[in-house]
Amino acid sequence: MKVKKYIAPNMQEAMKKIKNELGHDAVILNSKVVHTGGVFGLFMKKKIEVIAGRDPDPLIRRSQLKPELVKAGPEAANDINHEQSLISEVLELKKLVKSLSINEQQKGLPPHLIKLNQILQDKDIGLASRSVILSDLPNDVSEQSPPEFHSEVVKVMEKKMRHLAFGGISYKKKYINVVGPTGVGKTTTLAKLAAESMLKNHKKIAFITTDTYRIAAIEQIKTYAKILNAPLEVCYSIEDFQRAKEKFEDIDMVFIDTAGRNFRNRQLVNDLEKLIDFTDEVETFLVLSVTSKLNDMLEIHDNFSSIHIDKVIFTKLDETNTRGSMYDFILSAEKGVAYMTNGQNVPDDILIATEKLTVEEIMR
């Protein structure tokens, strides 16, 4: 494992350095607040020291071995047993490193902060984020009642996101576009946004779909369009999209559904630009499932970076009790949240995100 120490003004800057040098697979082993500079102990600056590592994961799955390496007979069995033994040892070593890093972080912490650290860890909030939360709590927090203590934690977490844009559709742009990987619920989410615009804000709406890869997808958006009594255009090319825009010239809000993309294939993501005219008239939301891994979320965000993403929509809150990856993603990607969805019901099961509500859903 390649291990390196980073010192930065804040956790966000440290994470950027780590991602640039070690990549998204890097693991935070330890983080703490340090003080640097100053004269005779005065005017010292508060900084974050982070120790990160990247495991190249040299283990090779047996299914990936070259045929000439797959032997027959007792020798093959011995090789497989040896390989499995190595895998077990490495996995145990990884667990030990994680345990040591957590124990190291808790050294010197008072009991109430050790308990809080465990609560945050149970919520799947990363070590780096937990360290920042603990270090930013007021000194007298241990003297407060449990509700006050919880309130202080929420305030600290909110503060870290305050510079980002939160909230739903701005209604300053005519076209609302949702993008994201397969299986995150983009079409259902789009229908919820359209219903909100029509029922609550009395907008005249229409749909455009570029998801022509799956017949079921077209039928799904047709069903929603019929329920909402809204026109729908299916677009196979940029020319189709331009014609749809002309047809919907008198419509207040046009909601664009896109095909789910394999986020690991950047070319498929770039193909979206051949179907949709991404102009200043479009407000785009990246849809992510809370059940996804943090590293996958960050990779998805990076691969969609060729398209301007205004905010994120988190889906499937009802399918997990550990939502800490939301918090880690928001701080790492520096992207605010528009909505959170917690079910399949249209137009219900959607929440307009604020900093406070997002934290409360994470800590629920």
pLDDT at 19 over 50: yes
Query: What's the average model confidence in pLDDT over 117-129?
Result: 85
Query: What's the average model confidence in pLDDT over 282-306?
Result: 90
Higher-confidence position of 240 and 48: 240
Average pLDDT over the chain reads: 79
pLDDT at 330 over 90: yes
Q: Where are the beta strands (DSSP E) in the chain?
A: 2-8, 27-36, 45-54, 175-179, 205-209, 232-234, 253-257, 282-289, 311-315, 337-341, 350-352
pLDDT attached to residue 340: 96
Query: What's the average model confidence in pLDDT over 342-353?
Result: 88
Spatial separation of the C-alpha atoms in residues 340 and 361, rounded to whole Å: 9
Higher-confidence position of 361 and 65: 361
Higher-confidence position of 80 and 276: 276
pLDDT attached to residue 181: 86
pLDDT attached to residue 40: 42
- The residues with which 41 forms a beta bridge, in sequence order, are none
Query: What's the average model confidence in pLDDT over 163-189?
Result: 91
Q: Which residue has the tokens 């934690």?
A: 153
Higher-confidence position of 127 and 336: 336
Q: In a 10 Å sphere around its CB, with 0-12 CB exposed, 13-18 middle and 19+ buried, how is residue 67 labelled?
A: exposed
pLDDT in tens, 287-296: 999 999 999 9
Tokens for 92, please give them: 């145990």
Spatial separation of the C-alpha atoms in residues 171 and 178, rounded to whole Å: 15
Q: Which residue has the tokens 């029922």?
A: 199
Give the three-class secondary structure for 162.
Answer: coil
Q: Where are the beta strands (DSSP E) in 71-187?
A: 175-179
pLDDT in tens, 196-210: 999 999 999 999 988
With beta carbons less than 8 A apart as the criterion, state whether 283 and 170 touch.
Answer: yes
Q: What is the CATH number of domain 175-363?
A: 3.40.50.300
Tokens for 307, please give them: 């398209």
pLDDT at 106 over 80: no
Spatial separation of the C-alpha atoms in residues 36 and 47, rounded to whole Å: 7
Q: Where are the domains of the chain?
A: 108-160, 175-363
Model confidence at 3, pLDDT cuts 50, 70, 90, reads confident
Spatial separation of the C-alpha atoms in residues 304 and 324, rounded to whole Å: 22
For 206-256, the DSSP string reads EEEE---S-HHHHHHHHHHHHHTT--EEE-SSHHHHHHHHHHTTT-SEEEE
Give the three-class secondary structure for 107.
Answer: coil
